[in-house]
Amino acid sequence: MSALYGTYARSPLAFERGEGVRLFSQDGTRYLDFHAGIAVNALGHADPHLVDTLKSAAEKVWHTSNVFTIPEQERLGQRLVDATFADAVFFTNSGAEALECAIKTARHYFWAKGETDRYEIIAFTGSFHGRTLGTIAAAGNPHYVEGFGPPLEGFVHVAPGDLEAVDAAITSRTCAILIEPVQGEGGVTAMTPEFMRGLRALCDKHGMLLVLDEVQCGYGRTGKFFAHEWSGIEPDVMAVAKGIGGGFPLGACLAKGEVSKSMVPGTHGSTYGGNPLACTIGNAVLDRILEPGFIPHVDQMGQKLAWHLQQLQQRFPHYIVELRGKGLLAGIKIADSVPVRDFVARLRDDHQMLTQGAGENVVRLLPPLIITEADIAEAAEKIGDAFAALDAETAHEHVTA
């Protein structure tokens, strides 16, 4: 009996070491990692640059406080500003905290302008923004909200992709639109560039802020540094986490200078957020992500993966209903006759490949961004073997029935 909260239906599988896109369990079995700690291990496991950085950082200052200047944090902030739309950054320890900062920033911007009733945010069904009281209300998924008292007020939800519904939901109270450019947990649904541009246009027309949640789809995963770059638009505020720390807990809220300027001393804070150790690692991750050729490699691998998945769809049209996602955030929507939980377990236990389920019966593929063509071919073979085994079992059932 575990001493831990029962909030996860955990597999008994535990890992001892990792190397690139491979993980080794306690009994020495080697796994192909298309899970990456849910899109966190962007550089795979035991990346030499990250290991060296952590070792030398361990002998220096781990933590001070945000009441002092933290040079590594200043440097990481400046590098993110130089590489994005943003002018200012607030560092956090997680994605949900990055979203909390984004929501507070958007609301406070209007409050400071004297528009104190303007705090409502339009968000989308099927989204996921984290597990704090604020972020469960923001996403509005009834499964996550129910039983935890009155949800935080000020969020309205419309279906993603429906620009008219968004337009109709705008009132004098609306301050922002909040969206994941590619929904991760909800079912790996990529927004179209037209829809993203439409949201930007609505925000411009009504003087609202566009707030993006790129916690999962950002940091190179779709083949651009940030997923919104595919649509050629810029947000006003953006939440980032997961890949940013390469496995070290780190998140960030990025904003345009005009929008962040009301966040003065006393409005927000974090004890750990952006501490020296976290930002030293964050800088090392960014060294690799911004290396020339790194993000183009992700784009190429994303295209290879899509090609292999299309081949599989032709072979197994009775199982593969739809291919979804963008780059190395890929989704396979499978037939309802095969619950995604079971298929993920099959890939793990019978084919030594790690994947993650998502909403709408979608298998999510989230490999480390350093993946090679050979790794992708191996993954496609394992997925093909898993579907073929299902076919064989179904045929057997027909014979014995």
Q: Which is nearer to ligand PLP, 108 or 242 (CB)?
A: 242
Give CA–CA dist 108/145, Å, rounded. Answer: 24
Give the nearest distance from C-beta 324 to ligand PLP in angstroms: 15
Give CA–CA dist 158/365, Å, rounded. Answer: 27
Give CA–CA dist 23/33, Å, rounded. Answer: 6
180 sits near ligand PLP (criterion: CB under 6 A): yes
Identify the burial level of 354 via C-beta atoms within 10 angstroms of its C-beta, where 0-12 means exposed, 13-18 middle and 19 or more buried.
Answer: buried
Chain centroid, CA 349 distance in Å: 25
Q: Which is nearer to ligand PLP, 47 or 180 (CB)?
A: 180
Identify the burial level of 391 via C-beta atoms within 10 angstroms of its C-beta, where 0-12 means exposed, 13-18 middle and 19 or more buried.
Answer: middle
Encoding tokens for residue 58?
């361990």
Contacts with ligand PLP by CB under 6 A: the residue count is 15
DSSP letter string, 118-142: --EEEEETT----SSHHHHHHH--H
* CB 331, CB 365: distance < 8 Å: yes
302 sits near ligand PLP (criterion: CB under 6 A): no
Q: Which is nearer to ligand PLP, 15 or 144 (CB)?
A: 144
Q: Which is nearer to ligand PLP, 103 or 312 (CB)?
A: 103
Encoding tokens for residue 190?
């990529």
85 sits near ligand PLP (criterion: CB under 6 A): no
Give the nearest distance from C-beta 145 to ligand PLP in angstroms: 15
Give the nearest distance from C-beta 24 to ligand PLP in angstroms: 25
Ranked by CB distance to ligand PLP, the top (closest) residue is: 95
Q: Which is nearer to ligand PLP, 93 or 316 (CB)?
A: 93
Q: Which is nearer to ligand PLP, 41 or 94 (CB)?
A: 94
- Across the strands, what pairs with 25? 15
Give the nearest distance from C-beta 59 to ligand PLP in angstroms: 28
Give the nearest distance from C-beta 186 to ligand PLP in angstroms: 9
Give CA–CA dist 371/329, Å, rounded. Answer: 13
Give the nearest distance from C-beta 115 to ligand PLP in angstroms: 27
Interface region with ligand PLP, contact rule CB under 6 A, candidates 123-131, 258-266, 383-391, 392-400: 123-131
